[in-house]
Amino acid sequence: MKKLLISYFFLLFYIGVKGQCFEDRHSLALNDSWMSCESKTSPNEFRGESHWILYDFGDIYELGETHIWNLSNPNYMTSGISELIIDYSIDGEFWQEWGSYSIPISNGSGFYEGTQGPDLTDIQARYVLLTAISNHGGDCYGLSEIRINTSGVVVPSSNKDVSYVSADIFPNPADQVVHIVIDFNGANNLPIRIFDSNGSLVHEGLINSSNPYSVNTKNLPSGNYVLSLGERIVLSQKIITVSH
């Protein structure tokens, strides 16, 4: 009987410490988590020196729902992020802000199953940047894990339908008109779209590899814009406009 009691106690202890054995639980170990105690220059220059995590998926994906596990180590729970800002990007240079999101503090239990995160459905991105705005009172900023669901590669690295070769955008910055010359194969025409920094569509049309494509920028406010080519974005480039 004594041997059975000892075995049962070990099983409970094992479950409590190794929660990652369950799909929606996470280990309490600090080395299974991310924690930042010193701010660094962000990949998004608008965020400056901050505490951040950058996810690079390697290709452009359709994003979906997320799930977040806050920092769960009992000694560092207050360093878990309270509020973060989410930015996303196709090329790692031009960033769009999704918004901010609040995360409850972890309960510090091996049975902790995290919390529902933001729904990123309808976003196409290769990069997702999380920037900590506040924590729950600790000296650092951390998370145990984040799960981002995707619905497959939008533009794989070896896209067989359209092979992008080169692009020339001039003048850039532009104050009157911007000319776009591209060279590609696999299609007669490609949809061309230009978005402002809020992700709003400001221009669309069709472009081919035979003739330069011109866009009037006189009525566009000064700022950064993104040019995308293809139904599923086979190319993303930055356009800068300067108003008189």
pLDDT at 193: 84
The least confident of 4-13, 53-62, 166-175 is: 4-13
Phi, psi of 7 (to 5 degrees): -65, -40
Where are the alpha helices (H) located in the chain, listed in sequence order? 2-17
Question: 193 with 204: CB under 8 angstroms?
Answer: yes
- Give me the CATH topology for the region 22-154: Jelly Rolls (2.60.120)
CA distance 33 to 114: 13
Average pLDDT, stretch 188-209? 81
Most confident of 55-64, 152-161, 184-193, 223-232: 55-64
Question: 44 with 95: CB under 8 angstroms?
Answer: yes
Q: Give percent of the chain with pLDDT exceeding 90.
A: 29
CATH of segment(s) 163-241 = 2.60.40.3080
Given a cut of 80, is residue 76 above it in pLDDT? yes
Q: Which of 183, 229, 211, 216 is nearest to 60 (CA)?
A: 229
* pLDDT mean across residues, the chain: 79
- Sheet hosting strand 190-195, strand order edge to edge: 201-207, 190-195, 223-229, 235-241
pLDDT at 25: 60
Q: 182 vs 174, which has greater pLDDT? A: 174
Give the tokens for residue 183. Answer: 């060279």
Confidence tier at 158 by pLDDT (50, 70, 90): very low
CA distance 113 to 25: 5
Given a cut of 70, is residue 153 above it in pLDDT? no
Average pLDDT, stretch 125-150? 92
pLDDT at 41: 95
Q: 165 vs 107, which has greater pLDDT? A: 107
Given a cut of 80, is residue 13 above it in pLDDT? no
Give the tokens for residue 26. Answer: 């996470």
- Domain range annotation of the chain: 22-154, 163-241
Average pLDDT, stretch 203-224? 85
Q: 153 vs 243, which has greater pLDDT? A: 243
Given a cut of 80, is residue 166 above it in pLDDT? no
DSSP character at residue 79: G
Q: Give percent of the chain with pLDDT exceeding 70.
A: 77
Confidence tier at 17 by pLDDT (50, 70, 90): very low
Average pLDDT, stretch 199-210? 81
Q: 198 vs 202, which has greater pLDDT? A: 202
CA atoms 16, 21, 24, 28: torsion sign? positive
Confidence tier at 49 by pLDDT (50, 70, 90): very high
